[in-house]
Structures are given as structure tokens and as C-alpha cells.
Amino acid sequence: LLLVALLLGYGLVDCPRHVWNISNPEGELRRTRIVASSADEALFEAVWELQDCEALIDAAASRVGGLDEHGTRTQMDPHYARCVDKLLTRRKATATLSPQLQRRRTAGNQRRRSHSEELDQSIPTLDVLAKLNGRLQQAQSEVVAAEQRWNAILAKNKLYSDLVEETINRPIRIDVDPSDTLLKVIHARITSCTSHVRYMWLKWLRGPFYRVLGTFCASLSLMVLWSEATLALPFNVSPFAILLGLFDSGETKDRGLLFQLAALVPLLYMSVCVYSSLFKFSLFGNFRLRGSKQSPGAALLFNAQYLVRLQFPLGYNYLFMIKFDTSATNCAFSHVMHNMSTVPFFGTSFSVYAPLLILALCGFTLCNGYARLLAALGVEHEDAILIGDQETLDSKVNEGITLLRRASDRQDSTPLNKDDSSRGLELV
């Protein structure tokens, strides 16, 4: 419950603000250009770390030796030989990267090697091979994530530049040959319809839609804060409880679809606020969630496990917030969460400390306290990068424009084939 209160306090402010910011293409374009230099540097660091791992593995393989003319291990423990072969196979998977990543390699890069690794010339043990394998896996995952983040920034820069400069591609018209097959005709119609819908969305509907959605999210946040702030009152003044009362006939079996929707929408919104905060905070190190298609499978499973754990206290908080009477129900959830009342700190005093904590976190987030704290601590985070004086931010914008233009020119001059563009994805 304490973690839910912390995440909810942050998300109730950050979610509406994020949705509203999306409706402003000028601001989002500036933000994209500011973070471009950090993403470019992170991609360089990831490639260099991978190169360091490859150099260490090559050095370890040269000390192992024992290769015959067919390239197989001789006079070696079979288990040890399999470990070496698997390590070299994994190392070869990224021996040749895509052209954009390959040019980021450097011939003399020998960074981050420990003193013991440089001086130890003995045959590596299984523990050393296992550490090298783990470090290589981590380096390969970081390269994939950094490359996908950089590609996402390039796509966002292209999108917001088109929106700001009003250079959106007009719908394409596809002429259909009467002799074409039915599938080709259907594909042409769908492509043409999709092009028209996309043009209408970007040209006229996108901005108003996100502004309306941001206003709706802000209204829900205010109602949630009001409901949380009035938990300790002896009577129920929650707007959600009042709305549910309009659709509640008093009989459990007679509660229809409208009652279920009215009860589900606030809970879904609170869940989005909590889970988006968990994504934004990046609490779990290597298991943290990243951008779209940038998180490895282990991170997805780890965070999915946490989401399941957080849903139960969040549901308890929601029922407690609207003061819903669960005594007439016989569901398993009410029996399990009823035991919370036996813990004084998390049960009886929850109505006192939870609203204060959530309100304090909302005020802290509203003043960009989280970003300012990260910037003061020197933590590399997207929010911390956006904190600074106007001159510093303007220099980052100019640097981002240069990097993005250079990358866009390289993409236009060196088109990727299918194998190159998907080479990194095969590592996940």
C-alpha cells in the first residue's frame, strides 16, 4: 500500500501532463532534440562496452587454445569445451553490426578493463567464462535497447518536424487495374483508406484529441485526490461513490453494465497512473522497463510480476477510497484484503497517512521535484536532462538538431536491408 501511494501520487500529476504535452508538437520536438545528444552518447557507450566484451572474450579464447584443423576442441573437458563454444557463438552473433552501429566502433577502445583482467594470462576458469557470458549478454541487450531508443527518437523527430512545418504527406491515390486479383484490389483499397485516415488524424484530429484526453485525465486526477483526501471523514463525499450510487439498485445481482463501467473506469485510470510511474522511475536497474520494444524478456517478466502484486493493494485502496461496503459480498478478494485491518500501520491508520502522502507527492511532482532531484544528484535520466537554464537547453537543442540531421542524411544515403535492420532484434 505504501508503494502504491507513492506511485499513485506521482502518476496522478504526470499522466495528465504527459498527455497534454503530446498535443503540443513544438514542445515535443524541442524535447526530442534535447534528449537526442544523451541517446546518441548512450548508443556510443553501449557499442564500446560490447567491443570491450568482445576483446576480453577473444583474449580468453586465445589462452584456451586446443583447436585442431577442423576448429574443434582437443584434449579438453567436454563440458568446458561446450561452454567455450557457446561463448564464442554468442560473441559471433554481433561480430558484424548494422552500418549505423558498425561506424561507431573504434579501433583503440580498451576501456573499463579491470587490472586483474589485463594481467591475468592463465587459462580462464568456468566462473570467468560465466562472467564473460553474462557481461556479453548484458552488453548485447544494451546495444539493442540503445539502438531502438535512438531509432525511436529519429522517428519522433521526423513526425514532430512534419507537424510543426506542416509537411505531412498527403493521402496517396492507388489506381486499381481491372485485371488485378481480388486480394490486390482489397490491399490497394485498405492502403488508400489507411493513408487518408492517417492524414486526417495528423492534420486535424491529433491535437484536439490529446487536449480533450488530457483534460479528462486531469479531471479524473482531481476526483481521485478529492476522494483520497476525504478518506478520514465519517461520511462519503467521493465523486466516484456518488456516481456509482446512481447506477446501484441495491441488489448485487441487479447491478448492470453501467454500474460495472462506472466502477471500472476510475480503477483503470489509477492503474495506468501507478504502472506508468513504475515505468518512469526505473527502479529495478537492469530489470527496468524501457521504451517501446526496448525491454528484454527478463525485464518484462520481472515487472509483470510486480504489476500483479501491486494490483491487489491498489484494488483495496480503491474500495477503501469509495467506502464501498464489501460485507454483503462473498468474494475471495474481500476475505484476503480484510486481513489488512490486523496490521495497525497499514490498516487502521491508512486513512490518515495515505492522503497526506499522495497529496505531498502530487505537489512534489507538480513542481518537477523528481527531475530537479535527479539533476542535483547527477543521475542520467530523461527528466533530469530537461532541467537547466535556457542557454544550456538551447545549446542541447542545437546539438540535437545537428545529430538528428546527420543521422537522417546517413539513413537516406545508406538504406538498410531487412537483415541489417533486424539483426539486433534477434539477440533478445
Task: Specify the length of the chain in residues.
Answer: 428
Among 17-21, 288-292, 347-351, 362-366, whose mean pLDDT is lowest? Answer: 347-351
The average pLDDT across 116-131 equals 72
Between 276 and 371, name the one with better pLDDT.
276
Write down the pLDDT at residue 412.
74
The answer to whether 43 and 144 are in contact (CB under 8 A) is no
- Least confident span in 62-66, 230-234, 246-250, 347-351: 347-351
Whether the predicted pLDDT of 389 surpasses 70: yes
Question: Where do we find the cell 538538431?
Answer: 401
Q: Does residue 299 surpass a pLDDT of 70?
A: yes
DSSP state of 203: I
Given pLDDT bands bounded at 50, 70 and 90, which one contains residue 178?
confident
Q: Which among 42-51, 103-112, 251-260, 371-380 has the top mean pLDDT?
A: 42-51
Residue 177 has pLDDT above 90, yes or no: no
Question: In the predicted model, is pLDDT for residue 338 greater than 70?
Answer: no
Q: Which of 24-33, 124-133, 334-343, 354-363 has maximum average pLDDT?
A: 24-33
What pLDDT score was predicted for residue 379? Answer: 66
Q: What's the pLDDT at 117?
A: 47
- The most confident of the ranges 70-79, 325-334, 343-352 is 325-334
More confident of the two residues 369 and 217? 217
Looking at residue 62, what is its pLDDT? 82
In percent, the amount of the chain with pLDDT more than 90 equals 34
Burial level of 426, CB count in 10 A (0-12/13-18/19+)?
Answer: exposed
Provide the pLDDT confidence category of residue 342 given band limits of 50, 70 and 90.
very low
- Pick left, alpha or beta for residue 329 (phi over 0 → left; psi -120 to 50 → alpha; otherwise beta): beta
Q: What is the pLDDT of residue 248?
A: 75
For the chain, helix, strand, coil in percent to 5 are: 75, 0, 25
Q: How confident is the model at residue 253 (pLDDT cuts 50, 70, 90)?
A: low
- Label residue 222 by pLDDT band (50, 70, 90): very high
The per-residue pLDDT of the chain, averaged, comes to 81
The pLDDT tens digits of the residues spanning 264-289 come to 999 999 999 999 988 887 767 777 88
pTM assigned to the model: 0.83
Q: According to the per-residue pLDDT averaged within each range, which of 239-248, 291-300, 322-331 is highest?
A: 239-248
pLDDT tens digit sequence for 81-105:
888 889 999 998 887 888 888 888 8
Instruction: Give the model's pLDDT for residue 427.
Output: 34
Sign of CA dihedral 303, 307, 310, 314: positive
Q: Please determine, for residue 193, whether its predicted confidence score (pLDDT) is greater than 50.
A: yes
Residue 156 clears pLDDT 90, i.e. is over it: yes
Structure-block grid coordinates of residue 118: 589485463
- The confidence score (pLDDT) of residue 415 equals 52
> For residue 53, what pLDDT band results from cuts at 50, 70 and 90?
very high
Question: DSSP code of 169?
Answer: P
Instruction: Please tell me the predicted confidence (pLDDT) of residue 268.
Output: 95
The lowest-confidence range among 59-68, 290-299, 332-341 is: 332-341
Around Cβ 33, how many Cβ atoms within 10 Å? Answer: 24
Rounded to the nearest 10 degrees, how much is the dihedral formed by the CA atoms of 15, 16, 21, 23? 120
Least confident interval from 116-120, 236-240, 244-248:
116-120
Phi, psi of 387 (to 5 degrees): -95, 130
Q: Which among 348, 351, 369, 347 has a CA at the least distance from the CA of 360?
A: 369
Cα–Cα dist 58/397, whole Å: 40
Query: Which residue is associated with the grid cell 561507431?
Result: 104
pLDDT at 161 over 70: yes
Segment of 111-125, 127-141, 327-341, 352-366 carrying the highest mean pLDDT: 127-141
Least confident of 10-19, 43-52, 279-288, 307-316: 279-288
User: Would the pLDDT of 80 be above 80?
Assistant: yes
Question: What confidence score (pLDDT) does residue 20 get?
Answer: 96
pLDDT at 120 > cutoff 60: no
- Give whole-number Cα distances, 413 to 37, 99, 160, 402, in Å: 22, 11, 22, 17
